[in-house]
């Protein structure tokens, strides 16, 4: 097997798969804003969160606060950063469950960070489809806890890491992230904190993503499992994703949605075929399994109403959030535990797609 197959994070590997140039300089001008500041990162032990940590570290902040609920992943990124050359940067690790509102408030009151990058989330579509209450508790309530506490303690900038699956969502995970975006946009009108959202496409080589799955299937001799031959997705590297988060945090004046300009969407089938060619195992076949509940054939980056307010640069798109009335979100969060999985899924999709306004919520 060729060497690139063992380097799924390399730009050469990514450019071959995506057939576009990888952007490597997105946050180089963010240094003046981050320099000697306190930066708190939730989900810091995850694949995206840990890369945000590395890129923030390179900008010479005063302190990086690593927040997560898994002590092993936090321990690993803490040790990695502490072993880097710049010993003037303080590295602080905090084990904190974001669903614990009081604990989150105490933590932010103690730290009083300048920037909060909120990467903690449940992100797997099929898992969240079967566990909508967990999606609400973590992705919506957890986000609200961190974001509201950030406003209360006077954080300068709060950045929510979201997903293109939040655009006209058809599944629980996307709906939960869309509602989280709305909460952040509402809070931007209440506090002096600059609240913004960054939407990702699919992130190459992140945990649980399609590329590691395909590589594992190739190692076993196949087949590569794919839901539909026409399915497309927008892709970005972990480094691009993290740098977009940092860039957005230093650019925003609040209420924005940032999306990396990732070029055209890519057929998953084409990526699978390129991986097979690289593997030098030409007999590996692709097996189509059928589209799963809540999946789309094609994802979008912005809703139609958001496109009306969009600005485009060479590097990114910048839109404005479109919101559901806040009282509908609050009512859902007060009652969600009383719903069955099926009923909660329906309510999440109604609110996220802004077609719930005239429909009373029944418990």
Token couple for 169: 């969502």
Report how far residue 355's alpha carbon sits from residue 342's, in angstroms, rounded to the nearest whole number: 18
**Mean pLDDT, residues 174-179:** 97
Domains in the chain: boundaries: 25-205+234-261
**pLDDT, the chain, mean:** 89
DSSP label at residue 355: -
**Mean pLDDT, residues 182-195:** 96
According to the CATH classification, is domain 25-205+234-261 in 3.40.50.720?
yes
Supply the pLDDT for residue 331.
93
pLDDT over threshold 70, residue 320: yes
Report how far residue 345's alpha carbon sits from residue 63's, in angstroms, rounded to the nearest whole number: 40
- Separation of CA 173 from chain center: 11
> Is 48 exposed, middle or buried (CB count within 10 Å of its CB: 0-12, 13-18, 19+)?
buried
Cis peptide before 223 (omega within 30 of 0): yes
Choosing from 165, 177, 247, 296, which is the catalytic residue? 165
Report how far residue 85's alpha carbon sits from residue 141's, in angstroms, rounded to the nearest whole number: 38
In terms of Cα–Cα distance, which of 289, 295, 341, 351 is closest to 126? 295
Report how far residue 191's alpha carbon sits from residue 181's, in angstroms, rounded to the nearest whole number: 16
pLDDT over threshold 60, residue 214: yes
pLDDT level of residue 357 (50, 70, 90 thresholds): very low
Supply the pLDDT for residue 278.
86
Q: Residue 233: what are its φ and ψ, rounded to 5°?
A: -150, 155
Supply the pLDDT for residue 362.
43
Angle at the Cα of 174 from the Cα atoms of 201 and 10, rounded to 5 degrees = 25
pLDDT level of residue 300 (50, 70, 90 thresholds): confident
Token couple for 307: 């496109």
pLDDT tens-digit readout, 277-295: 888 887 899 999 998 888 8
Active site (annotated) includes residue 165? yes
Supply the pLDDT for residue 295.
83
pLDDT over threshold 50, residue 4: no
């Amino acid at each position: 097997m060729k060497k690139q197959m063992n380097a799924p994070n390399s730009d050469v590997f990514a450019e071959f798969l995506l057939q576009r140039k990888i952007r490597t300089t997105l946050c180089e001008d963010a240094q003046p804003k981050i320099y000697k500041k306190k930066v708190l990162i939730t989900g810091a032990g995850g694949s995206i969160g840990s890369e945000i940590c590395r890129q923030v570290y390179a900008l010479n902040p005063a302190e990086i606060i690593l927040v997560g609920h898994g002590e092993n992943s936090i321990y690993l990124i803490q040790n990695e950063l502490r072993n880097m050359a710049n010993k003037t940067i303080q590295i602080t690790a905090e084990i904190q469950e974001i669903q614990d509102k009081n604990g989150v408030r105490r933590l932010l009151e103690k730290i009083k960070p300048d920037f909060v990058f909120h990467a903690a989330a449940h992100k797997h579509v099929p898992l969240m489809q079967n566990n909508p209450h967990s999606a609400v508790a973590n992705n919506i309530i957890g986000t609200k806890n961190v974001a509201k506490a950030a406003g209360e303690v006077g954080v300068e900038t709060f950045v929510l890491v979201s997903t293109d699956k939040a655009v006209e969502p058809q599944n629980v995970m996307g709906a939960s992230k869309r509602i989280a975006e709305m909460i952040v946009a509402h809070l931007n009108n209440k506090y002096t904190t600059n609240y913004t959202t960054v939407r990702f496409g699919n992130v190459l080589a992140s945990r649980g993503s399609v590329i590691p799955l395909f590589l594992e299937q190739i190692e076993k001799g196949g087949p590569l499992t794919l839901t539909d031959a026409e399915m497309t997705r927008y892709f970005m590297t972990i480094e691009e994703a993290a740098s977009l988060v940092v860039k957005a945090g230093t650019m925003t004046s609040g209420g924005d949605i940032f999306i990396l300009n990732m070029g055209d969407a890519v057929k998953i089938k084409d990526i699978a075929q390129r991986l097979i060619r690289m593997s030098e195992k030409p007999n590996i076949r692709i097996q189509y399994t059928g589209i799963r509940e809540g999946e789309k054939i094609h994802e979008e980056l912005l809703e139609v109403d958001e496109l009306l307010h969009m600005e485009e640069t060479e590097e990114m798109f910048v839109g404005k959030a479109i919101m559901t009335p806040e009282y509908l979100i609050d009512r859902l969060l007060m009652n969600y535990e009383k719903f069955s999985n099926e009923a909660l899924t329906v309510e999440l999709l109604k609110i996220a797609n802004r077609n719930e306004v005239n429909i009373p919520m029944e418990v």
